[in-house]
Amino acid sequence: MKIKNGRKLLAALLAILMLASCMRAVPGEPAETAGKVAENPAETKAEPDETEDPAIPGNPDPGAPDTTVPDGRPVSHKLSVVSPADYHEVYERLTSYGNSYGGYYKKATRGDVLVEEAVAEAPAAADMAVNSMEMAYEVAESADTGGWGSDDYSETNAQVAGIDEGDIVKTDGKYLYVLKNRTEIVILTAAGADTQVVSRFSVADGESGYYGGLWKDEYDPAKVETYKNSYAEEIYVLGDTLAVITDRNEYSSGEIDGVWRYEDRTYTNADFYDISDRWNPRYVTSEGQDGSYLTSRLKDGKLYLITRKWVYRWYDYKEEDYGSYIPMLYNAEGMRVTPVDRIFWPETTEDSDYTVISRFSMEGHAMEDSASILGAGNTVYMSHDYLYLADTRYYEEAVGERTESVYTVTDYVYGNRTEILKLTYADGFAVVATGTVDGDLLNQFSMDEWGGNLRVVTTEWNNAYTIYEDKDYGFTNYQYKDSKQTNGLYVFDGEMNLIGALDELAESERVYSVRFDGGVGYFVTFRQVDPLFTVDLNDPSNPTIMSALKIPGFSNYLHPWTDGLLFGLGQNADEETGRTEGMKLSMFDVSDPFGVFERDKISLDVTYSEGMYNHKAILAAPGKNLIGFPTEHGYLLYTYTPEEGFRLMNEVTIDYDDNNWWWWDTDSRGLYVGEDIYILTSQFAVVLDMNTGSMLARVGY
Asked if 418 and 441 count as a contact pair (C-beta separation under 8 A), the reply is: yes
Give the pLDDT of residue 62. Answer: 34
The arithmetic mean of pLDDT across residues 294-308, rounded, is: 98
Residue 116 host element (H or E): helix 113-116
Render 120-136 in DSSP notation, one character per residue: HHTHHHHHHHHHHHTT-
In this structure, what DSSP letter does residue 153 have?
B
Residue 100 pLDDT > 80, yes or no? no
The mean pLDDT of 526-541, rounded to a whole number, is 90
Does residue 217 surpass a pLDDT of 70?
no
pLDDT for the residue 490 = 98
Q: What are the boundaries of each domain within the chain?
A: 97-140+203-356+370-375
* Segment among 257-261, 360-364, 379-383 with least mean pLDDT: 257-261
Give the integer Cα–Cα distance in Å for 3 and 481. Answer: 19
Is the pLDDT confidence value at 86 over 90? yes
Residue 109 confidence (pLDDT) above 80: no
The predicted-structure confidence for 425-483, as pLDDT tens digits, reads as follows 999 999 999 999 999 999 999 999 999 999 999 999 989 999 999 989 999 999 999 99
Claim: this prediction has a pTM higher than 0.75:
yes
Residue 69 has pLDDT above 80, yes or no: no
Of 312-321, 513-522, 539-548, the range with the lowest mean pLDDT is 312-321
What are the strands, taking DSSP E only, across 168-277? 169-171, 175-180, 184-189, 197-202, 206-211, 225-238, 241-256, 259-274
Q: Are 237 and 362 in contact (CB under 8 A)?
A: no
Q: Name the band, by pLDDT with cuts 50, 70 and 90, for residue 173.
A: very high
The pLDDT, as a whole number, for residue 251 is 80
Q: Is the pLDDT confidence value at 287 over 70?
A: yes
Among 442-451, 563-572, 665-674, the range scoring the smallest mean pLDDT is 665-674
Share of the chain above pLDDT 70, in %: 76
pLDDT in tens, 373-420: 998 888 999 999 999 999 998 899 999 999 999 999 999 999 999 999
**pLDDT tier, 145 (very low <50, low <70, confident <90, very high otherwise):** low
| Interatomic CA distance for residues 662 and 654, integer angstroms | 12
Cβ neighbours of residue 82 under 8 Å, at least 6 residues apart? 93, 344, 345, 346, 347
Question: Which neighbouring-strand residues pair with 230?
Answer: 206, 248
Question: Per mean pLDDT, which of 60-69, 93-102, 367-376 is the most reliable?
Answer: 367-376
Residue 277: pLDDT over 50: yes
Q: Cα–Cα distance between 363 and 236 in angstroms, integer?
A: 12
pLDDT on residue 3: 36
For residues 505-534, give the mean pLDDT: 92
pLDDT at site 9: 37
Distance from C-alpha of 448 to C-alpha of 456, rounded to nearest angstrom: 7
Question: Residue 489 class from Cβ within 10 Å (0-12 exposed, 13-18 middle, 19+ buried)?
Answer: buried
| DSSP sequence for 648-681 | EEEEEE----TTTHHHHHHS-EEEEETTEEEEE-
Residue 296's pLDDT band (cuts 50, 70, 90): very high
The pLDDT score that the predictor gives to residue 476 is 95
Q: Point out the least confidently predicted range of 99-103, 622-626, 628-632.
A: 99-103
3-class secondary-structure state, position 303: strand
Per-residue model confidence (pLDDT) at position 99:
40
pLDDT at 96 over 50: yes
Choose between 575 and 695: higher pLDDT.
695
Residue 170 pLDDT exceeds 90? yes
Sort 9 into a burial class: Cβ within 10 Å, 0-12 / 13-18 / 19+. Answer: exposed
Q: What is the average pLDDT across 511-529?
A: 92
Angle at 386 between CA 237 and CA 388, to 5 degrees: 95
User: What pLDDT, on the 0 to 100 scale, is given for residue 1?
Assistant: 37
Is 196's pLDDT higher than 70? Answer: yes
pLDDT of residue 59 exceeding 80, the answer is no
Please tell me the predicted confidence (pLDDT) of residue 78.
Answer: 81
Q: What is the pLDDT of residue 208?
A: 60
Q: Kindly provide the b/e burial profile for residues 677-697, where b requires at least 16 CB atoms within 10 angstroms of the residue's own CB.
A: bbbbbbbebbbbbbeeeeebb
Beta-bridge partner residues of 635: 630, 652
Asked whether the predicted pLDDT for residue 534 surpasses 50, the reply is: yes
91 pLDDT above the threshold of 60: yes
Give the pLDDT mean for 43-61: 33
The larger pLDDT score, comparing residue 575 to residue 410, is at 410
Closest among 355, 341, 264, 356 to 90, alpha carbons compared? 341
In this predicted structure, the answer to whether residue 98 has a pLDDT above a threshold of 60 is: no
At residue 256 the predicted structure's pLDDT band, cuts being 50, 70 and 90, is low
Give the per-residue pLDDT at 257.
65
CA distances from 16 to 19, 56, 66, 76, 399 (A): 5, 19, 14, 19, 10
Percent of the chain with pLDDT over 90: 64
The yes-or-no verdict on residue 549 having pLDDT over 60 is yes
Query: Rounded mean pLDDT of the chain?
Result: 82
